[in-house]
Amino acid sequence: MALPEQIVTVDAILFDLDGTLIDSTPGVISAWKTFAEEYKLGSHLPIVQKTHGRRLADTLRDETICNIQDTKLLDSEILRFEDLVIQGSPVALEGAIEFLAQLDSHHDMRTRWTIVTSASRYYATQCIPKCEIPVPASGFVTADDVSEGKPKPAPYLEGAKKLGIDVTKCLVIEDAPSGMQAGNSAGAKTLADFENCSEEIKRPTYIIDDLTRVRVNWENSKIRLTIDTRRGPGSD
């Protein structure tokens, strides 16, 4: 049986964005509703769940979804979709700003975290400041920076590379099955944040309800996390 409070020490933290640090659910649902109607996809809600955490380029190109193969059209539809999500007014999730403030409070820790998102640079550049999330000192990784998106390991390998840290010494914090698979495949430790999770996540190293359950300190040139893994009422 796992202890309610666990200590983990890592060299760096790699955060997913949507569903982990920010809640963009209303905008995502609205965007998929619009696209489902226009592309005659039927109910949009199963698509929201199926595509959560994946790059738009991959989902819109998917033959079972929108089947957009023309590159110019794909690029314009990605932009239109992300604008619809932004119009849904994404907000920071509970505990996210405070958690990142803890990391940024120490000169060494502030260079040991980054964001690895399946969204485009256009979207991330707008949503991160809009949600009052601090911009990582080392920059962030977007869908535009990798040739393969989640669930492939490339995004998190790129995130670790950006920080100059061995990915096996990193902790990936995710809410999506595709992102958790990417983190596991990359060789990182993984923490599942269930605050906004819509589907079962398999094989995380740690599980929490939300980011208020984690405290961080800088100790012996490493990030020391105290993780409260007790699940709240209604948790499985």
Q: Any catalytic annotation for residue 18? A: yes
Question: Would you list the DSSP string of 98-154?
Answer: HHHHHHHTSTTGGGSEEEB-SS-HHHHHHHHHHTTPPPPTT--B-GGG-SS-TTSSH
Q: How far apart are CA 15 and CA 133, in angstroms?
A: 12
Helix (H) or strand (E) holding 216: strand 214-219
* Options 16, 193, 209, 210, the catalytic residue: 16
Token pair 């991160």: residue: 128
* Options 18, 175, 209, 210, the catalytic residue: 18
Q: Any catalytic annotation for residue 62? A: no
Cis peptide before 151 (omega within 30 of 0): yes
Question: CB-based burial of residue 41 (10 Å sphere; 0-12 exposed, 13-18 middle, 19+ buried)?
Answer: middle
Q: Which sequence positions are flagged as catalytic?
A: 16, 18
